[in-house]
Amino acid sequence: MPLISPNALLHAHLKQNPPRRPSGRSPLETRTTQLNVGSLSHCNGSSLVKIGDTTIVCGVRAQVLPVSEIANFRVTKTSQSYDPSVSVKQGGPNQQTGGHGYSYNPISLYNLLVPNIELATGCSPKHPANTMPSVEAQSLSQRLLSLLHSSALVEPSQLEIIYTPPIDSQDLELGIESDPEIKAFWTLYIDIMCISYGGSIFDAAWMALYAALKDTKLPQAWWDADLEQVLCSAEQAEPLSVHGFPVPTTFGVFVPDKRTVANQETSEPVHWIVADMDAFEEGSCTETCCVTIDKENTNEETSILRIEKSGGTVLDLRRVEDCLATAEGRWRHWDQLLSSVFQP
C-alpha cells in the first residue's frame, strides 16, 4: 500500500482522532536515540547513532598540518581567540586588541574541520552502492560544515601546535622574552557513513558528529627544533573540549492530496506538522524545516541558533515557534543520553 499511494496512507492515519502516524507516533513525537562511542579502535574518536531505522557511524581522524604546507600562511606569534559574534575580514584591524592585531578564524580559513558524509553504501533504494556521491550527500556535508563553523564547537587554540624558542642569555639580560610560534595545526577529518537511511538523516549525522568530537583525544604534540618537524606521543593524549550543545530537529509539513480531501468536511485541517520524519514520511512531505537550538543547561532559556526551511509556505514564524517545545524535548533527551555515555 505505501508504494501504491503513500500520500493516502499517511492521510488516513493522521486524520484519526487523535492523529497517529503509521509508526504509531503522534505528529510531534520524536524517535528514541541510541548512542555508543569509542567503537572504532583506529580513530581518534568515534560514535554510532541509531534513531529509528537511521543508523550512522562516525569516525574522527586527526592529522598534523605543518604551516609550511599552508599557502600564504601568515605567521602568528601568539594564539588569538576568535569571537564568532565579531565578523572581521582577514587582514582587517582586530577590535579586541585595540587595532594592533588581526582577528581571524584558522578553523574556517585553513579547513581544520572537514566533515564528509557517505550515502552511497546501499543504505536505501535511493542510494545504490558503487555510485558517485549524490547531491544530497554533498548538501549534507556542507550543512554540517556550516553548523560546525557557526556554532564554534571547537576552540582554535586546541588545534594549534605551538613552539616557544629558548631564551638566550643576552635576551634574558635585556628582559626580552621569546614569543610562541605556531608551527602546525591539527586537522580533524570527520568521516560519517550512513549504514541505514531511515529519515531525518541530518539530525542523526549531527548527533554522531558531536559525539565523535566529544570522544576525540588528540596526542600530545610538540615541535622538535633539531629535526624541524612535529613529534607526537599517543600515550599522553588529551581529550578535545567542545563548547555548547547544538541540537537540530527536522520537521515536515504533510499536505494531503486534493483528491483525498475532496469529500471531507471543511473543518478538517489541511495540513499536519510532523517531527523527526522517517523515510516513508519524507517522501510525502514537500516542505521541511530544521530548527537548531542550544541551552546552557536544562533550566536556562533556549537559544535558536538557526532555522533552515525549504519548500512550501505553511510553516511561518508562528508555527515554527510552536515547534520549539518538541525541539527542547529532544535537547533534554540528547543531553541525558550524552551524560549517561560520557560519565566522569
- Examine residue 155 and state whether it is found in any structural domain, yes or no: yes
pLDDT of residue 128: 76
pLDDT of residue 81: 41
Domain identity same for 133 and 277? no
**Below-50 pLDDT ranges, the chain:** 1, 78-79, 81-102
Domain identity same for 24 and 52? no
Domain identity same for 252 and 193? no
pLDDT of residue 3: 55
Domain identity same for 183 and 41? yes
- Examine residue 73 and state whether it is found in any structural domain, yes or no: yes
Q: How far apart are CA 206 and CA 278, in angstroms?
A: 16
Domain identity same for 110 and 20? no
Which of helix, strand or coil describes residue 318? helix
Domain identity same for 223 and 129? yes
Domain identity same for 213 and 101? yes
Per the structure, the count of domains in the chain is: 2
Domain identity same for 289 and 160? no
- Cell 583525544 locates to 217
**CA angle at 248 for the pair 334 and 160, rounded to the nearest 5°:** 85
Q: How far apart are CA 29 and CA 14, in angstroms?
A: 13
| pLDDT tens for each residue of 114-140 | 999 998 777 888 877 777 778 888 999
Show which of 239, 265, 284 is a domain's final residue.
239
Domain identity same for 166 and 40? yes
Show which of 217, 239, 261 is a domain's final residue.
239
pLDDT of residue 88: 37
- CA-based diameter of the chain, in Å? 94
pLDDT of residue 153: 92
289 neighbors 304 (Cβ within 8 angstroms):
no
Domain identity same for 79 and 106? yes
- Cell 553504501 locates to 121
pLDDT of residue 17: 86
The model's pTM is 0.86
Domain identity same for 185 and 157? yes
Write out the DSSP string of 76-143.
-SS-----TTS---TTS--GGGTTSS----HHHHTT-EEEEEE-TTTSBTTB-SS-PPPHHHHHHHHH
| pLDDT tens for each residue of 286-300 | 899 999 999 887 677
3-state class percentages of the chain: helix first, strand second, coil last, to nearest 5: 25, 30, 45
Show which of 239, 261, 288 is a domain's final residue.
239
CATH number of the domain to which 151 belongs = 3.30.230.70
- Examine residue 1 and state whether it is found in any structural domain, yes or no: no
pLDDT of residue 25: 92
- Examine residue 80 and state whether it is found in any structural domain, yes or no: yes
| pLDDT tens for each residue of 179-197 | 788 889 999 999 999 999 9
Q: How far apart are CA 296 and CA 303, in angstroms?
A: 9
DSSP state of 154: B
- Examine residue 152 and state whether it is found in any structural domain, yes or no: yes
254 neighbors 281 (Cβ within 8 angstroms):
yes
Q: Which residue, among 14, 154, 15, has the nearest Cα to 84 in the 3D structure? A: 154
Domain that residue 280 falls in: 6-30+247-341
- Examine residue 130 and state whether it is found in any structural domain, yes or no: yes
